[in-house]
C-alpha cells in the first residue's frame, strides 16, 4: 500500500517548502518534487494547503474515574475526535487512585485502548503512592515502554502524594531516566480554602478559582522545583495557567533545573469570566488549575513564541453538562473538572494563534507536535516529516471557514466550550502511518488500528 501527497507546502519547525511526500507501508520513504507513483497509489492533491507532521496531544484523559463518575469519551470516540482535529497521537494520563495497584491499573488503562483506538497512543504512568511494592511495579512499567510518570501535588487523599513519596518518585525517575510530569497546586491550601468558602455559603462555580488562586499554583511549582533541584530529576509542569507559576518555573530553569512547561489551549483563549457565568452555566468551564484573568493570555502566548513554554495540550476530560456537572450544583467542589477540547486544539491554536500573529507556523508545529515528540521520547518517529518517520501527516486547509458546534463534534459530550466560535483553517486530510483516517471533518479510518507506542527513557 502506498500514498502520495502532492504539491503541498511542507511546514516543519525550521523549514518551509513545496514538495511531494511518498509513503510506503507506514513510513515516509521519499520527499521530492514531481514524484511519480506506481499504479494503485492513493494520491492526495495538497495544492494550496499546508502539510504538517501529525499533531500530538501530550495530556488527555480518555478513561477517567473521577469525582464519583466517569469521563464520557472512550477510545472509540476520543481517538476519532482527535483525528478529525488533526491529532494523530495521544498521551493519556493513567491515573490510579491511592488505593489501586499500579501494575493492575496500567493493564486496565491499556485494555481501554488496545484494539479500540484509531490513533496511536501511549501513557504517563500515574504515581499516586510510593512504597516498596510500587517501586518494583514502576520499574516493570518502564520496562514495558513507558518513559514518563505523572504526579499530583493536589487532590489530597485521592491521587496526591506526600513529600516523602515525591522525593522517592523523583529519585527513581532520575535513576531510570524517566521524566516526571506534575500537576502543581498546593493541596493543603486548596483544601483549607474550599472549606472556608463553603462555610461562608459561597458555592457557585466561580468560587472554584478563589479556592486555588494563582499563588497556590505558583507555590506548587516552587515546591516541585525544590525537590527537582535536589534530586536532579527531569520534570514537566502540566497545564500551567498563569504568570506567577511561569516565573517560578523559569527561575528554577535558570538555576539549572530540568523543567519543561505545558500550557493548555483553554488558557490561551478562555478566561475566568466564563466560569463566572450565571445560572450554573459557568460549570462548563470548571477545571484545575482554573481559568485565569485575561491578562495571562498574552503572557502565555509570548511564552510559546519565545520558547519559554514548550507545548500546548488540552487536559481533555469530558463530562456532560446536563447529567454530570450538576453533581456540584450546590457545592463547587463536586463539579467534575474538565473542559473538553481534544477535537478543537489544533484548529483553535491556528485560528487564534497563527492567524492573529501571536505565533508563526513553525512555532505552531513545534508546540503542537515536534516539541512533544522530543520531550516524550517519540522523535523522530513522530513529530517530524523526514525519511523513515511514521507517515502521520496533516494536510491543512488555511482557507476553510467554519463554526464550532456541539451538534457536529465527534467528542462524546453534550456541550462545546467554544459553541459558535469561528474557525479559519482546519485539517482536510489526516493520515496515521500511511492510511487516511479523517477527511474534511469526518472520521474515515479504521477503529482499533492505533498502536501502543513503546518509549525508551532518555532523561538521565
Spatial contact of 392 and 434, defined as CB atoms under 8 Å apart: no
Is the pLDDT score of 229 beyond 90?
Answer: yes
157 falls in which pLDDT band (50, 70, 90)? Answer: confident
Spatial contact of 316 and 60, defined as CB atoms under 8 Å apart: yes
Task: Write down the pLDDT at residue 140.
Answer: 98
Instruction: Kindly state the cell numbers that stand for 277.
Output: 457565568
Calculate the alpha carbon distances from 411 to 239, 350, 450 in Å.
Answer: 21, 20, 18
Spatial contact of 42 and 2, defined as CB atoms under 8 Å apart: yes
Is the pLDDT score of 258 beyond 90?
Answer: yes
Class of domain 54-375: alpha beta
Of 124, 98, 107, nearest in space to 182 by CA: 124
Task: Write down the pLDDT at residue 149.
Answer: 98
Residue-wise pLDDT for 371-416, tens only, equals: 999 999 999 999 999 999 999 999 999 999 999 999 999 999 999 9
Beta bridge partners of 436: 431
212 falls in which pLDDT band (50, 70, 90)? Answer: very high
Of 235, 305, 238, nearest in space to 267 by CA: 238
Task: Write down the pLDDT at residue 120.
Answer: 98
123: how many CB neighbours lie within 10 A of its CB? 25
**DSSP-derived 3-state class of residue 306:** coil
Residues recorded for the chain? 460
Q: Which residue has 514518563 as its cell numbers?
A: 148
Sequence-distant contacts of 434-440: CB under 8 A, at least 24 apart: 434/1, 434/2, 434/3, 434/23, 434/24, 434/25, 434/26, 434/27, 434/391, 435/1, 435/3, 436/3, 436/42, 436/44, 437/83, 437/88, 437/118, 437/119, 438/80, 438/83, 438/84, 438/86
Instruction: Kindly state the cell numbers that stand for 198.
Output: 463553603
Mean pLDDT of the chain: 97
Of 123, 226, 121, nearest in space to 179 by CA: 123
Write b or e for each residue in 50-61: b if 16 or more Cβ atoms lie within 10 A of its Cβ, otherwise e: bbbbbbbbbbbb
Task: Write down the pLDDT at residue 52.
Answer: 99
Residue-wise pLDDT for 174-187, tens only, equals: 999 999 999 999 99
Task: Write down the pLDDT at residue 68.
Answer: 84
Rounded CA-CA distance 331/201 in Å is: 9
Instruction: Kindly state the cell numbers that stand for 94.
Output: 493513567
Of 393, 418, 389, nearest in space to 403 by CA: 418
Residue-wise pLDDT for 58-108, tens only, equals: 999 999 998 889 999 999 999 999 999 999 999 999 999 999 999 999 999
Amino acid at each position: 500500500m502506498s500514498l502520495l501527497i502532492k504539491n503541498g507546502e511542507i511546514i516543519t519547525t525550521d523549514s518551509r517548502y513545496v514538495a511531494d511526500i511518498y509513503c510506503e507501508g507506514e513510513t515516509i520513504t521519499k520527499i521530492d518534487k514531481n514524484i511519480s507513483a506506481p499504479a494503485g497509489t492513493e494520491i492526495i492533491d495538497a495544492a494550496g494547503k499546508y502539510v504538517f507532521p501529525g499533531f500530538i496531544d501530550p495530556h488527555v484523559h480518555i478513561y477517567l474515574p473521577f469525582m464519583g463518575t466517569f469521563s464520557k469519551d472512550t477510545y472509540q470516540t476520543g481517538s476519532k475526535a482527535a483525528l478529525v482535529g488533526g491529532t494523530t497521537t495521544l498521551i493519556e494520563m493513567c491515573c490510579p487512585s491511592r488505593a489501586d495497584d499500579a501494575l493492575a491499573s496500567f493493564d486496565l488503562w491499556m485494555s481501554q485502548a488496545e484494539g479500540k483506538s484509531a490513533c496511536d497512543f501511549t501513557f504517563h504512568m500515574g504515581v499516586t503512592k510510593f512504597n516498596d511494592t510500587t517501586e518494583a511495579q514502576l520499574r516493570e512499567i518502564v520496562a514495558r515502554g513507558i518513559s514518563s510518570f505523572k504526579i499530583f501535588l493536589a487532590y489530597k487523599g485521592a491521587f496526591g502524594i506526600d513529600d516523602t513519596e515525591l522525593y522517592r518518585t523523583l529519585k527513581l525517575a532520575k535513576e531510570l531516566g524517566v521524566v516526571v510530569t506534575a500537576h502543581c497546586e498546593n493541596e493543603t491550601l486548596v483544601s483549607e480554602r474550599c472549606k472556608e468558602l463553603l462555610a461562608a455559603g459561597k458555592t457557585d462555580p466561580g468560587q472554584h478559582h478563589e479556592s486555588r488562586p494563582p499563588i497556590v499554583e505558583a507555590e506548587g511549582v516552587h515546591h516541585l522545583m525544590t525537590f527537582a533541584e535536589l534530586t536532579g530529576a527531569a520534570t514537566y509542569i502540566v497545564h500551567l495557567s498563569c504568570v506567577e507559576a511561569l516565573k517560578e518555573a523559569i527561575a528554577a530553569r535558570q538555576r539549572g533545573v530540568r523543567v519543561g512547561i505545558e500550557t493548555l489551549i483553554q488558557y490561551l483563549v478562555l478566561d475566568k469570566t466564563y466560569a463566572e457565568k450565571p445560572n450554573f452555566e459557568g460549570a462548563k468551564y470548571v477545571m484545575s488549575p482554573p481559568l485565569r484573568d485575561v491578562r495571562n493570555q498574552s503572557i502565555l502566548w509570548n511564552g510559546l513564541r519565545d520558547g519559554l513554554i514548550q507545548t500546548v495540550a488540552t487536559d481533555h476530560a469530558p463530562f456532560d453538562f446536563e447529567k454530570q456537572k450538576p453533581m456540584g450544583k450546590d457545592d463547587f467542589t463536586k463539579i467534575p473538572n474538565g473542559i473538553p477540547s481534544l477535537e478543537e486544539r489544533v484548529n483553535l491554536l491556528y485560528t487564534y494563534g497563527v492567524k492573529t500573529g501571536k505565533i508563526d507556523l513553525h512555532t505552531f508545529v513545534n508546540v503542537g507536535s515536534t516539541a512533544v515528540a522530543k520531550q516524550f521520547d517519540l522523535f523522530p518517529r513522530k513529530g517530524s516529516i523526514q525519511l523513515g518517520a511514521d507517515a502521520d501527516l496533516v494536510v491543512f486547509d488555511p482557507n476553510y471557514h467554519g463554526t464550532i458546534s456541539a451538534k457536529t463534534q465527534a467528542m462524546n459530550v453534550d456541550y462545546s466550550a467554544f459553541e459558535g466560535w469561528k474557525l479559519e483553517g482546519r485539517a482536510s486530510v489526516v493520515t496515521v502511518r500511511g492510511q487516511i483516517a479523517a477527511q474534511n471533518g469526518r472520521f474515515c479510518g479504521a477503529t482499533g488500528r492505533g498502536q501502543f507506542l513503546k518509549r525508551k527513557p532518555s532523561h538521565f
